[in-house]
Structure 1
Amino acid sequence: MDIRPVQDLDAPALADLLNEIIARGGTTALEEPFTPRALADAMLTGPDVICCFVAQDDGGSPAGFQSLVRVEGLPDGIGDIATFSRVGWVQQGTGSRLFAATREAARQQGLAAINATIRADNAGGLAFYSRLGFTDHAIRRAVPLRDGTPVDRVSKRYILRTGA
């Protein structure tokens, strides 16, 4: 598996990957599909993107991607991470390999911490970030899904620098 910085030309394949996850439901708070341009602006190469890496399988197809962005509501020096693995590729080590690159880029950018916000009903996502060393930071209670179903959001933090 190859890990590399994302490029604009990755947007169509990564939009397909993410839209399949969204359509499947249950693991991401994202509920609306992305066009390639909207995904590029929001998570791949847009102005609020700190870094984004893509994992490619041995055949050159995307196995997943991980984005670190600046979001309103988080203090300066804390990026917000999102990790997506191709349906059927969970537990293949994709996210851990991506995180090694993201963590290094975050350190180089001088970030103090990385935030991950996960749906409370996404046991796999919660376990994944815990395995990486993220610790619970905050809970937002009963955030409604598009259909009105309330689901808590758990925010976890990965400290890069003491005092974050």
Structure 2
Amino acid sequence: MNPKIRAVLPEDAAELAELLNAIIARGGTTAFETAFTPARLAEAYLIGPSVHCCFVAERNGQLLGFQTLGTQTFLPAGIGDIATFTRLGGTQRGVGSALFATTCTRARELGLRAINATIRGDNVGGLAFYSRMGFLDHEVVPAVPLKDGTPVDRIRKRFVLVDQST
């Protein structure tokens, strides 16, 4: 059964902070290392001024994951920055791809040219997910230190939304 995809609502912030904080606490995949309050998550990634769009996947009243698309100072105008998070503790098969289809549609409506994804180099699942969605390696930011000093590369992948040859 496919999840229902809908725009994030302000009242989703608490459940999504819990979902993301579980991922942060487990470690090893997200670059985030500090837990989010619902208010900070909402401002930065759900509904704040730097957010182009954010969608949630829902099934039987439970939020299974979310995908946010926003701006980043290191990216030129016209390129959105994406992040995808799915609930731990169960198979979330199809959630990321369903979210991505909706995010792509909205990104094109907004006139974006491309989408950037920055993934930790040791996040095998994340790298595979974005490759399956059609993202291509674009840049490596080498040896970004974690809070404990461990260096981890960041892989930037790019998904082109419009033909840039014209």
- The question of a shared fold, defined as TM-score above 0.5 by the shorter chain, is answered with yes
RMSD: 1.0
C-alpha separation in 1, matches of 2:109 and 2:89: 32
State the distance in 1 between where 2:32 and 2:146 align: 9
Any stretches of 5+ residues in structure 1 without a counterpart? none
The answer as to whether partners of 1:63 and 1:89 remain within 8 angstroms in 2 is: no
Mapping of residues 13-162 of structure 1, within 5 Å: 13-57=15-59, 59-162=60-163
Offset, 1:163: 2.0
Per-residue CA deviation, residues 41-92 of structure 1 (Å, 9 max, x unaligned), is 00000000000000012x2110000000111010000000000000034551
In structure 2, give the amino acid aligned to 1:42: A
CA distance in 2, matches of 1:116, 1:55: 19
Q: Contact 2:65–2:84 (CA<8 Å) still a contact in 1? A: yes
Contact kept in structure 1, 2:121 and 2:154, CA below 8 Å:
yes
Residues 61 and 91 (structure 1), Cα distance of their counterparts in 2 relative to 1, 3 Å cut: closer
How many aligned positions are there? 163
Q: TM-score, structure 1 length as denominator? A: 0.97
1:31-50 CA-to-partner distances (Å, cap 9, x unmatched) read 00000000000000000000
Deviation track 1:128-160 (CA, whole Å, cap 9, x = no partner) reads 000000000000000000100000000000000
CA distance 1:74–1:90, shift in 2 (3 Å): farther
Structure 2 segments unaligned to the other structure (5+ residues): none
Question: Matched residue of 1:74: which SS?
Answer: coil
Whether contact under 8 Å (1:41, 1:47) holds in the other structure is yes
- Alpha-carbon shift at residue 107 of structure 1 (Å): 0.2
State, as a whole percentage, how many aligned pairs show the same letter: 61
